[in-house]
């Protein structure tokens, strides 16, 4: 009986390891695909601009543009989940999506590459390699110091004692969700907010949410089904062999701990898929 019990414990540990390793390998492949999809690269000297219709008067050269339900406009929300890119009036390359009279209502926006971005010191001085996100000031960026959507990474320093002053710095434009800051509570709340607030997600971001949801559901299902079967078997065994009651109870407790571990690990992996 003890040998069978030990075998079951070993099989459960192997199952936990398989659940933990498989999503991690999948996520790594996702990151590689994402890097291959980049049209230029972080070392590109400029970005490729796409003409989009912008009638917002607040939108200027260097403004952070968001894709809203009402159209493209200067972002006025901190950590805006709808960040689209940066308006650049003199791009190195420009793709026109409209011609003739319709082209007058469009402006070039860089969605990936290097561009000058409007920033302020409202959230502190910006240093090279700091993440830049949107602010409450229309089109103006600020230093990101918590997890959420960012427009890109600063390539220059910026500091000003007056937080109302607006300047421009060169940055790598790459709108995405950043989860590198260590703050679990903020991450969870921001993740829920971003999931419900974004007007549109990239294919990779959508795949992340889908994988995270599937992993969480699978973890709960496996955990509850497994523990339910073990508990039922344990009760039946105690009825047949009351003298082995303590050993059976100990086995049930171990299985309960393993069940909680499986569910917790599944939720942890799902969380990492969303934030990394």
d(CA 115, CA 129): 14
Per-residue confidence band for 270, with pLDDT thresholds at 50, 70 and 90: confident
Per-residue confidence band for 131, with pLDDT thresholds at 50, 70 and 90: very high
Residue linked to tokens 């006025």? 76
CA geometry: angle 24, 30, 33, nearest 5 deg: 150
> Is residue 139 predicted with pLDDT exceeding 80?
yes
Question: Model confidence over 224-248: pLDDT tens digits?
Answer: 777 777 667 766 666 676 666 677 6
Per-residue confidence band for 129, with pLDDT thresholds at 50, 70 and 90: very high
Q: Are 95 and 49 in contact (CB under 8 A)?
A: yes
Average of pLDDT values for 12-30?
A: 49
Q: What is the pTM of this model?
A: 0.53
> Is residue 35 predicted with pLDDT exceeding 50?
no
Torsion 59-61-63-65 (CA) sign: positive
2-27+209-275 CATH? 1.20.20
> Is residue 25 predicted with pLDDT exceeding 60?
no
> Is residue 90 predicted with pLDDT exceeding 50?
yes
> Is residue 15 predicted with pLDDT exceeding 70?
no
pLDDT at 101: 57
- Mean pLDDT, all residues of the chain: 75
pLDDT at 33: 37
pLDDT at 185: 47
CA geometry: angle 199, 102, 198, nearest 5 deg: 5
CA 48, distance to chain mean position in Å, is: 24
Beta strands at 83-87 and 106-110: parallel, antiparallel or unpaired = antiparallel
Query: Mind giving me the DSSP string for 91-110?
Result: -SEEE-S--GGGGGGEEEEE
d(CA 107, CA 54): 6
Question: Model confidence over 163-210: pLDDT tens digits?
Answer: 999 999 999 999 998 877 755 444 445 555 555 554 445 555 667 777
State whether CATH 3.20.20.100 applies to domain 41-181.
no
Which alpha helices (DSSP H) does the chain contain, by range? 2-37, 184-197, 203-240, 245-275
Question: Model confidence over 36-57: pLDDT tens digits?
Answer: 333 334 333 466 788 889 888 8
Question: Model confidence over 247-256: pLDDT tens digits?
Answer: 767 777 777 7
Percent above pLDDT 90 for the chain: 31
Q: Where are the domains of the chain?
A: 2-27+209-275, 41-181
Q: Give yes or no on whether 2-27+209-275 and 41-181 have one common fold.
A: no
């Amino acid at each position: 009986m003890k040998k069978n019990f030990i075998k079951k414990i070993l099989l459960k540990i192997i199952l936990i390891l398989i659940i933990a390793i498989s999503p991690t390998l999948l996520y790594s492949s996702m990151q590689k695909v994402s890097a291959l999809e980049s049209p230029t690269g972080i070392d590109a000297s400029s970005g490729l601009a796409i003409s989009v219709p912008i009638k917002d008067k607040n939108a200027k050269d260097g403004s952070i543009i968001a894709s809203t339900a009402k159209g493209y406009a200067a972002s006025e929300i901190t950590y805006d989940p709808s960040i689209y890119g940066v308006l650049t009036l003199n791009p190195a390359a420009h793709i026109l999506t409209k011609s003739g009279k319709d082209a007058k209502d469009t402006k070039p926006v860089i969605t990936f590459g290097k561009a000058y971005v409007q920033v302020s010191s409202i959230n502190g001085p910006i240093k090279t390699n700091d993440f830049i996100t949107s602010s409450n000031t229309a089109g103006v960026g600020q230093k990101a110091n918590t997890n959420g959507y960012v427009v890109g990474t600063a390539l220059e320093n910026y500091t000003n004692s007056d937080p109302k002053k607006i300047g421009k710095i060169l940055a790598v434009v790459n709108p995405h969700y950043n989860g590198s800051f260590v703050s679990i509570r903020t991450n969870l709340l921001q993740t829920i907010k971003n999931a419900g607030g974004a007007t549109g997600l990239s294919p990779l971001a959508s795949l992340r949410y889908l994988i995270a949801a599937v992993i969480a559901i699978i973890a709960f299902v496996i955990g509850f089904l497994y523990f339910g079967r073990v508990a039922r078997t344990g009760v039946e065994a105690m009825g047949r062999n009351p003298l082995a009651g303590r050993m059976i109870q100990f086995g049930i407790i171990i299985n309960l701990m393993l069940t909680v571990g499986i569910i917790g690990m599944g939720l942890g992996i799902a969380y990492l898929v969303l934030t990394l």
